[in-house]
A and B are shown apart, each in its own frame.
Chain A
Amino acid sequence: MNSEAVEQDGAAGIAADIRGFVRANMTALTTAELRDEDNIFEKGFVTSIFAMQLLVFIESTFDVTVPDDHITLRNFSSVELMTGMVAKLKAATG
């Protein structure tokens, strides 16, 4: 695989992990489907209390430290945005 393919594969894996974690923690009685671009707070899939758990999950699962200036509700508001953030942090740490 070329480096771009490896990168894509890595991002897909990150997205799958994050998607799985969000799905497992979505409000149980929701019937809506989660899409990667959905704002999980605005759609009511989770409450903002879950943001803190997302932060812990991301740091422990992907072995990254989310810097202070990344800790905003927006960065944790969709699978897509979280995946991008994690990929960027992992790339920065090599």
Chain B
Amino acid sequence: MSARRPAEVLDWARAFAEEELAPSAGEFDRTGQLPGSVIRQLADAGVLGAVVPPRWGGAGMDALDYGELTEVVGKACSSTRALLTVHTSLVCETLVERASDRIKDKYLPDLASGRRIGCFALSEADAGSDAASVTTSYTRQRDGFVLNGRKKWISFAGIADLFLVFATDNGVLSAFLVDRDTPGVRTAPMTGFLGNRATHIAEVVLTDVAVPEENLVGRIGAGFGFIANTALFHGRYSIAWAGVAIAQAALEEMCTYATRREQFGVQIGAHQLVQKMVADAVTNVDAARELCRQAGRARAERSVEAVMRTNIAKYFSSTIAQQVTSDAVQVLGGNGCWDQYPAERLFREAKILEIIEGTSQLQQVMIADHGYKTFARKS
């Protein structure tokens, strides 16, 4: 189908999120499955290719609209939002910026249309925050490379058609696009997670996987400095908006419940200590959204400030998402701890955001350094 306009994609997503995703998010979480029909509908509506330029069949959405799209989807269902984070932000946006025209022409039309799903295979058992320490290896062969290793905690690896894999050759990290159908590629589902339960998380096992030269993304050695960092820059922006999304959802749960539930003969929202939690949530959600918009504007301008703006937005929104969802559970009391209400799911999903795409602690280190450089008086 022809590419949709950004406004059409957003309008469709608003309706789909409210009517289809939000009522089913609990079921997706319980079953650990994001149905293929949901992915198909998102793909057909242009959501999965939202940020891909029209040249390759995408909607060419700008950073601010994409942020809003992420919030709309993420407020309804975190696992569905995670598909945008992985497929659209980590894979599509990275290929748009860093891949050769040959790779773009070969893969982006299928990724933008959602005919193929991409996933991001960086993490390993011993390579989390220290992502550059991956042990998955590549060696050169006559007309390409051979990959060996094992990736862990890879969202959507269970259903993805294409893997953006990071591997090392004696410390020289490079990135490759690997088709699922390539001999030697195997995935093993992983279960038992706190959140993101419907994101088809899997291990990716690569055994003597032959990758053609043309599937090298960027140059040899560009893997971490340019490819992974570009991907994480985009992923972090997505997670920043995901925090706003979850916090907004929790805020609505909290306010709705506080105005209906009565204890001691009055609505619990009349109690000042409940009002304190609601006031903090309202303020924090507003502040987080504005930080995300600030990051979005810096990205749209291709400002060098965009990286730090994104780090700050991600750190703040994931932190307040944790606080707001915790308070939502508190306001809902027993019902907040029960899976018949969304609060407990939102609480679990929020915690994930403080860990993925750069832990809060890593963000703090970078933000503190920015603080010294910006605010220390020079005399």
A, B bound:
yes
Q: Is A6 an interface residue (CB 8 A)?
A: no
Q: Is A16 an interface residue (CB 8 A)?
A: no
Cα separation A63 to B350 with both chains bound (whole Å): 41
Q: Is A55 an interface residue (CB 8 A)?
A: yes
Partner of A29, one of B221, B233, B304, B372: B372
The stretch that binds A, out of B1-9, B33-41, B184-192, B222-230, is B222-230
CB pair A68–B219 under 8 Å, yes or no, is yes
From A23, which residue of chain B is reached at the shortest CB distance?
Answer: B373
Which residues of chain A (52-77) have a CB below 8 Å from chain B?
A: 52-53, 55-57, 60, 68-69, 71-74, 76
Partner of B304, one of A27, A49, A53: A53
Nearest Cβ on chain B to A27's Cβ, whole angstroms: 6
Digit string of A21-43 for contact with B (CB within 8 Å is 1, else 0)? 10011111100000000000100
Question: Which B residues are CB-close (under 8 A) to A29?
Answer: 369, 372
Q: Is B108 an interface residue (CB 8 A)?
A: no
Identify the A interface with B (CB < 8 A). Answer: 21, 24-29, 41, 48-49, 51-53, 55-57, 60, 68-69, 71-74, 76
CB pair A73–B225 under 8 Å, yes or no, is yes
CB pair B307–A51 under 8 Å, yes or no, is no
From A55, which residue of chain B is reached at the shortest CB distance?
Answer: B226
Nearest Cβ on chain A to B299's Cβ, whole angstroms: 10
Cα separation A26 to B376 with both chains bound (whole Å): 14
CB pair B229–A56 under 8 Å, yes or no, is no
Sampled A-B contacts (21; CB under 8 Å): A21-B304, A25-B373, A26-B373, A27-B369, A28-B373, A29-B372, A41-B225, A48-B132, A49-B229, A49-B307, A52-B225, A52-B226, A52-B229, A52-B233, A56-B304, A57-B304, A71-B219, A72-B219, A73-B221, A73-B222, A76-B225
Partner of B226, one of A25, A51, A69: A51
From A52, which residue of chain B is reached at the shortest CB distance?
Answer: B229
- Looking at B233, B302, B304, the one whose CB has the most chain A CB atoms below 10 A away is B304
Question: Which B residues are CB-close (under 8 A) to A24?
Answer: 373
CB pair B373–A52 under 8 Å, yes or no, is no
Q: For chain A, what secondary structure do more than half of its interface residues adopt (helix, strand, loop), or is it mixed?
A: helix
Nearest Cβ on chain A to B366's Cβ, whole angstroms: 8
Digit string of B80-113 for contact with A (CB within 8 Å is 1, else 0)? 0000000000000000001010000000000000
Question: Which B residues are CB-close (under 8 A) to A52?
Answer: 225-226, 229-230, 233, 307
CB pair A72–B222 under 8 Å, yes or no, is yes
Question: Which A residues are CB-close (under 8 A) to B229?
Answer: 48-49, 51-52
Cα separation A25 to B307 with both chains bound (whole Å): 12
Q: Is B218 an interface residue (CB 8 A)?
A: yes
Cα separation A68 to B219 with both chains bound (whole Å): 7
Digit string of B345-368 for contact with A (CB within 8 Å is 1, else 0)? 000000000000000000000100
CB pair B304–A74 under 8 Å, yes or no, is no
CB pair B230–A28 under 8 Å, yes or no, is no
CB pair B226–A74 under 8 Å, yes or no, is no
Cα separation A61 to B100 with both chains bound (whole Å): 23
CB pair B219–A69 under 8 Å, yes or no, is yes
Cα separation A83 to B218 with both chains bound (whole Å): 21
Partner of B372, one of A28, A57, A68, A76: A28
Nearest Cβ on chain A to B232's Cβ, whole angstroms: 8
Partner of B376, one of A25, A27, A28, A60: A28
Cα separation A51 to B307 with both chains bound (whole Å): 11
Cα separation A41 to B221 with both chains bound (whole Å): 14
Closest 9 CB pairs of A and B: A28-B372, A51-B225, A48-B225, A73-B225, A28-B373, A52-B229, A72-B219, A28-B369, A57-B304
CB pair A71–B100 under 8 Å, yes or no, is no
Digit string of B295-333 for contact with A (CB within 8 Å is 1, else 0)? 000000010101100000000000000000000000000
